[in-house]
Amino acid sequence: MKKLAIASMVSMALLMACEKEKAQDTAPAAKDPVAKEVVKPAETAAAEKSEANIEGNPFFEKWDTPFGMPPFDQIKNEHYGPAFEYAIKKAKEEIELVANNPEEPTFVNTIEALEYNGKDLTKVANVFFNLTSANTNPELQAISREIGPKLSALGDDVNLNPQLFARVKAVYEQKDKLGLRPDQMKLLEDRYKGFVRGGAELDDEQKARLRELNKKITELTIKFGDNVLAENNNWEMVLDKEEQLAGLPQNVIDAAAETAKKRGHEGKWVFTTHRPSKNPFLIYSTNRDLREKIYKGYTHRGDNDNANDNKKVAAKIAALRSQKAQLLGYKTHADFVLESRVAKNAENVYNLLNQIWPAAIKQAKNEVAAMQKMIDEEGGGFKFRASDWRHYAEKIRKAKYDLDESVTKPYFSLEDTLKGVFYIANKLYGMNFKERFDLPKYHEDVRTFEVTDPNGELIGIYLTDHFVRDGKRGGAWMNSYRKQFVDENGKFRKPIIVNVLNYPRPVGDEPTLLTFDQASTLFHEFGHAAHGFLSNGVYPSQTGTSVPRDFVEFPSQVHENWMTEPEVLAQFAKHYKTGEVIPQELVEKIQAASKFNQGFATTEYMAATLLDLAWHTIEDGEIRDADEFEAKVLKDYGLIDEIAPRYRTTYFSHIFSGGYSAGYYSYIWSDIFGADAYQAFRENGIFDEKTAKAFVDNILSKGGTEDPLALYKKFRGKEADPKYLLKSRGLID
């Protein structure tokens, strides 16, 4: 969904994440609007600065740094609060100037003026929200809590300003006579739609109703999240006999003892429903009853008829969203959401899911049969059930693929893997990377690279922040300190982009060695970075990774493919001690293993997707019985008892307290584009110049300036075909 630049500041912190295969996986949404400078006499400006307590605040001094990098060494925690206060005040004034402009509304004085609003705020927010993810501390967290509602209110100042809407509407109504470029037309349409979707066309009574619905929905989504958190934290399985630990590796036992100590059960072992605790238990424990116990604990979070029960909360949220959609003129909440996504409507999403579901469920049934066979051969004498899945999948994986991480990791040192990333960036896009040691950085872990094109022209600055540490949240993502855009004076601004990951630090002389998946993540995140670097648009809200959620993972997904090509592996996947290139048979083993258990993975993901869509295609605004509703949806689709949706209703935070309502399908949707796009390279040559150029020209450089589907067809000459995704997961031959 495109929001107004300033309104999106708030969501920026939430949207920055870009984690592979993970829940919160979305692309960065940092905006970079620039306001027209208001020229003031020197003494007035100084007095204002003093009054606003921003004298000497680096956010309001000229950044005399190479490439206009933020002067991290000068920015202190105490600078953010006053900087935000002042920048928000200025942004408000600028909005008023646009709204009350005595001149007739035009594209430039209204739409473009809004786009370039809040220059200072962008400057502060870009640094702040990058750091609250990558390098936070309690002070920054406190500022974040304080500033969130203020940014939210600023968003309302735009969206609910009737004068502003009147001007936007006036421009919109003459859009066909204005001679606009396609990107300008899209900007105008998106702005206008943004207002309408926010309720600008409603009468006063309806507006009041909308505000009431928004308020209730917000309250309930917060409650939902709190309930999940409480359920997660409250549930524990305390073990006090050593035989209950049968099968568990020592590090898992140690962690459980540590948890027990923290929770006042010293001398015992505690397991919780948190994944790092639950998953190893399900995989390794040989105690079937205890596996069932922790599995039930996990799958019944929010479904225990206690104070933290989420059944009614979820059902109410879905009902209220349905009512809100209808108030705004949509049949369902899904229609409201999907209108601004590539998918356009729920029918298109269902059509796509229906092409994948049968193959996934068929494969899942094969997997169950294989595990039952193993149980029978072992003389287990019981019927396989859902809580057995991870345990037997691991046993089969070991027996069939016999793949030990310690054998593969030496071939993927972090340093060499990064070289592999740079190699493909050079072969595909002609990018060159030169490390700089003189640029400001926010932490000593950060490395900075100057990225240039084949003519030596600067493309942008690439920051890497690879190591796990306190103050960095989990996962991997890309974000920008500055997006590519063209400012109001026509100057092309070059991007400053960061990839943040959570790799282990090198120990002693040993470099950081990556698992195959971790190495793949580096290529994935660089795909997002390439989307940012090769961007060639004008308006900041449209450039780089500012594309719909169901499209944004596509460029990153594609990039994972190059890593496994023998030609690329030969360049970088070398044993860190001997320099020997990874043997091809080992690569084949890794790839075969990666297709293992995909029936399960795809089915559990898709079951959650179907649940999400079902809740958000309710048309009557009625409150449902959550358990009954969920059971019926999954039964109708023929989900097998041995698999639960990746998220059941009562702990499906993405859709009931995150931003993924009617959007959980986005991951697989992007994957389909990714697999199909790579097929073009397979057909034409993995570094085929023409294909790479078409990819840049139609996808990577375009950002959100045109309809993504139309762009995709220009690149590929046809629509994406889901069969390449099914193949890549081994679901069809």
User: Which residue numbers are catalytic?
Assistant: 525
Q: Which stretch binds Zn ion (CB under 5 A): 180-188, 291-299, 346-354, 547-555?
A: 547-555
Binding status of residue 556 toward Zn ion by CB under 5 A: yes
Binding status of residue 672 toward Zn ion by CB under 5 A: no
Q: Which stretch binds Zn ion (CB under 5 A): 337-345, 553-561, 610-618, 622-630?
A: 553-561
Class of residue 733 by CB neighbours under 10 A (exposed 0-12, middle 13-18, buried 19+): exposed
Q: How far is the CB of 454 from Zn ion (least distance, A)?
A: 27
Q: How far is the CB of 640 from Zn ion (least distance, A)?
A: 30
Q: Which stretch binds Zn ion (CB under 5 A): 63-71, 145-153, 446-454, 554-562?
A: 554-562
Q: How far is the CB of 260 from Zn ion (least distance, A)?
A: 36
Q: Which of 692, 688, 690 is nearest to 701 (CA)?
A: 692
Q: How far is the CB of 553 from Zn ion (least distance, A)?
A: 5
Q: How far is the CB of 705 from Zn ion (least distance, A)?
A: 21
Q: How far apart are CA 617 and CA 336, in angstroms?
A: 10
Q: Which is nearer to Zn ion, 128 or 551 (CB)?
A: 551
Here the tokens at position 97 are: 């100037």
DSSP string computed for 359-396 = HHHHHHHHHHHHHHHHHHHTT--S---GGGHHHHHHHH
Q: Which is nearer to Zn ion, 23 or 178 (CB)?
A: 23
Q: Which stretch binds Zn ion (CB under 5 A): 102-110, 165-173, 492-500, 546-554?
A: 546-554
Q: How far apart are CA 665 and CA 611, in angstroms?
A: 10
Cα distance from N-terminal residue to C-terminal residue, the chain: 36
Q: How far apart are CA 455 and CA 529, in angstroms?
A: 20
Q: How far is the CB of 18 from Zn ion (least distance, A)?
A: 4
Q: How far apart are CA 146 and CA 151, in angstroms?
A: 9
**Which 3-state string (H, E, C) describes 329-341?**
CCCCHHHHHHCCC
Q: Which is nearer to Zn ion, 18 or 349 (CB)?
A: 18
Q: How far is the CB of 50 from Zn ion (least distance, A)?
A: 44
Question: Which pairing describes strands 496-503 and 477-482: parallel, antiparallel, or unpaired?
Answer: antiparallel
**Judged by CB under 5 A, how many residues of this single chain contact Zn ion?**
3
Q: Which is nearer to Zn ion, 157 or 553 (CB)?
A: 553
Cα-to-chain-centroid distance, residue 485: 22
Q: Are 273 and 235 in contact, with CB atoms under 8 Å apart?
A: yes
Q: How far apart are CA 314 and CA 319, in angstroms?
A: 9
Q: Which is nearer to Zn ion, 194 or 527 (CB)?
A: 527
Class of residue 663 by CB neighbours under 10 A (exposed 0-12, middle 13-18, buried 19+): buried
Q: Which is nearer to Zn ion, 308 or 556 (CB)?
A: 556
**What letter does residue 458 receive in the DSSP assignment?**
E
Q: How far is the CB of 472 from Zn ion (least distance, A)?
A: 17
Q: Which of 670, 389, 636 is nearest to 524 (CA)?
A: 670
Q: Which is nearer to Zn ion, 12 or 18 (CB)?
A: 18
Q: Are 673 and 352 in contact, with CB atoms under 8 Å apart?
A: no
Q: Which stretch binds Zn ion (CB under 5 A): 187-195, 234-242, 386-394, 549-557?
A: 549-557
Q: Which stretch binds Zn ion (CB under 5 A): 178-186, 414-422, 550-558, 574-582?
A: 550-558
Of 159-198, which residues contact Zn ion (CB under 5 A)?
none
What one-letter code names the amino acid at 45?
Answer: A
Half-sphere exposure of 241 (CA within 13 A, CB side): 5
Q: Which of 582, 577, 572 is nearest to 419 (CA)?
A: 572
Q: How far is the CB of 478 from Zn ion (least distance, A)?
A: 7
Q: How far apart are CA 715 and CA 237, in angstroms?
A: 53
User: Which residue number has the CB closest to Zn ion?
Assistant: 18
Cβ burial 333-361 (10 Å sphere, 16+ → b, else e): bbbbbbebbbbbbbebbbebbeebbebbb
Q: Which stretch binds Zn ion (CB under 5 A): 128-136, 448-456, 555-563, 630-638?
A: 555-563
Class of residue 484 by CB neighbours under 10 A (exposed 0-12, middle 13-18, buried 19+): buried
- Which helix (H) or strand (E) segment is 259 a member of? helix 250-262
DSSP string computed for 206-236 = HHHHHHHHHHHHHHHHHHHHHHHHHHHHH--
Binding status of residue 529 toward Zn ion by CB under 5 A: no
Q: Which is nearer to Zn ion, 543 or 556 (CB)?
A: 556
What one-letter code names the amino acid at 666?
Answer: S
Q: How far apart are CA 491 and CA 532, in angstroms?
A: 17
Of 242-271, which residues contact Zn ion (CB under 5 A)?
none
Q: Which is nearer to Zn ion, 553 or 604 (CB)?
A: 553
Q: Which is nearer to Zn ion, 18 or 257 (CB)?
A: 18
Q: How far is the CB of 715 from Zn ion (least distance, A)?
A: 19
Residue 1-40 contact track with Zn ion, rule CB under 5 A, x = bound: -----------------x----------------------
Q: How far is the CB of 521 from Zn ion (least distance, A)?
A: 9
Q: How far is the CB of 242 from Zn ion (least distance, A)?
A: 42
Q: Which stretch binds Zn ion (CB under 5 A): 222-230, 548-556, 607-615, 646-654?
A: 548-556
Q: Which is nearer to Zn ion, 24 or 597 (CB)?
A: 24
Q: Which of 195, 192, 193 is nearest to 210 (CA)?
A: 195
Q: Which is nearer to Zn ion, 25 or 416 (CB)?
A: 25
What one-letter code names the amino acid at 50?
Answer: S
Q: How far apart are CA 409 and CA 505, in angstroms?
A: 14
Site for Zn ion, rule CB under 5 A: 18, 553, 556
